[in-house]
Structure 1
């Protein structure tokens, strides 16, 4: 009885099968183990802070005027977002705080931020490109540094004299707070462009405008977006100063007015909303940066 054997594979097939790459590991989803651990750590730290805060107020270690309890802050937040009697037992119903809900105060401040920072972007980026590529940088940069070093409260009174107590003075203040970081980051980005890239494009016959739009601006875009993030954060921290005078509606104006009226719980509620809004703004700008400059850190 003859025994049949399977034909041996050719040597080339064995070599090819041995050299086949191993299957790549599956990418982690949007909620991978690291992100879950990071989220859990953040939630645990917030919970620990709330527990310590509650224990301190529960034990009476600090007077409620100086540090209200978490429950009082939550009640102030709910009260600021609902219709409620003007006083216990009164039939007169008021709307939120200062006749606006808290979210309406926040939207009013965001609108001022958007106009002020938007104007700073529209002026700061072209001026920064011009200063970074011409002699105007040497002439104007000291004035830009001087403007960047001024605290907003130093000229809020002058802006009110010039433009009144309406939104115009507030938007100008936010513009002046956001303009220097955007312009200076643009200048820094332009000066960081490699000269051999510019010379290579020029040697191929590109004009100055083509060099600016095809080489300088894309290479500068990561720095510009970083400057916009810094400027937005700086303008957001200036919102309370901008809304000191006639800042209603406005989250900064509400926080300032509540402090004058010794409503500590409402002040803390406004502070928490301001902080959370700033975090969401920064996350939005970081997401925009990933879309516009996906090559950052990879090239």
Structure 2
């Protein structure tokens, strides 16, 4: 005995209507507004808590200034006022430009070397055994531990700053790429070899595409590590530069300017990470699909 089940959508409820977001009472605009409103709400809550903490008078204004004081410091460092140009003779955007230029140069060098090193370590077992302890050693070192040595070797100009940022960016990129190469699907690599692909072709056509998603994660971590080392990199001769601005202002207990520098680093870091995410979505559309 056969049983026939009618799965045709009933009248007035087609399959397309069921799949449409409005059929379930969910508006696409509502989701977008919610995603935009939550970060804004968190910022408002933070500013409110900050204002209350400053107004409470528990801490001296030197330690916890009002948000309005920090805003005035931002305006002062961004403009020419009373004959004074920005901070230390440079506007805020000029400080930020110099820092971003250093970070960009250091990240390019560190990530390029890290990705190449990761590909080699992931593909050659003995090379991984030799270099992995040194990468772990370098990752464990705080930037200040070897920055003074770089200053002795390279002077106080741009070379030690860029070298420090490159050394900070290299290990995350190398470790992530190595792990990604080792995690490449064995079935695909064996199939490519069975079809006559050479080692270089297997790496180019199978290993690299499968490793790209995790490699991008490593690149984002590398940029974060470089950013976290900016203040250390600009300890000496760091003006113009955001790290130099923060360090110089802290010498005079100028907390509002220090906070302006911190916010400049953090906000620019968020923007760069968002750009990297956008590039990743374009360059690796197969992430999570294979």
TM-score, length-normalised on structure 1? Answer: 0.88
Q: Which residues of 2 match residues 37-48 of structure 1 at below 5 A?
A: 37-48=34-45
Runs of 5+ consecutive residues of structure 2 not aligned to the other structure: 1-7, 23-27
Cα separation, 2, equivalents of 1:140 and 1:260: 40
2:76 alignment partner, one of 68, 79, 85: 79
3-state SS of 1:165 partner:
coil
**Is it true that 1:22 corresponds to 2:19 in the alignment?**
no
1:151 aligns with 2:173: no
1:36-185 correspondence runs (5 A)? 36-85=33-82, 93-134=83-124, 135-185=126-176
Q: Aligned partners of 1:49 and 1:199: how far apart in 2?
A: 54
Which residue of 227, 251, 256 corresponds with 1:236? 227
Aligned to 2:177: 186
Deviations 1:202-252 (A, max 9, x none): 111111111111000000001110000001011101100000111011101
Deviation digits for residues 149-170 of structure 1, max 9, x if unmatched?
A: 1110100100000111111100
Residue in 2 aligned with 1:208?
Answer: 199
Contact 2:227 2:269 in 1 (8 A): yes
Tell me how far apart the structure 1 counterparts of residues 72 and 10 of structure 2 sit (CA, whole Å).
68
Shift of 1:26: 5.8
* Alpha-carbon distance in 1 for matches of 2:288, 2:136: 29
In terms of fraction of residues, the more helix-rich structure is: 2
Normalised TM-score (structure 2): 0.90
SS where residue 16 of structure 2 aligns? coil
**Structure 1: stretches of 5+ with no match in the other structure:** 1-14, 86-92
Q: Quick check: 250-259 or 44-53, which moved more? A: 44-53
Instruction: Give the root-mean-square deviation of aligned CA atoms.
Output: 2.3
Aligned residues: 278
Q: Give 1:17 shift.
A: 10
For 1:18-69, what per-residue CA distance to the aligned partner results, in whole angstroms no more than 9, with x for missing partners?
A: 8974344269xxx732231232222222212212222332342221111111
Contact 2:111 2:222 (8 Å CA) reproduced:
no
Report if aligned partners of 2:9, 2:15 keep a CA contact under 8 Å in 1.
no
Q: Distance in 2 between matches of 1:292 and 1:37?
A: 28
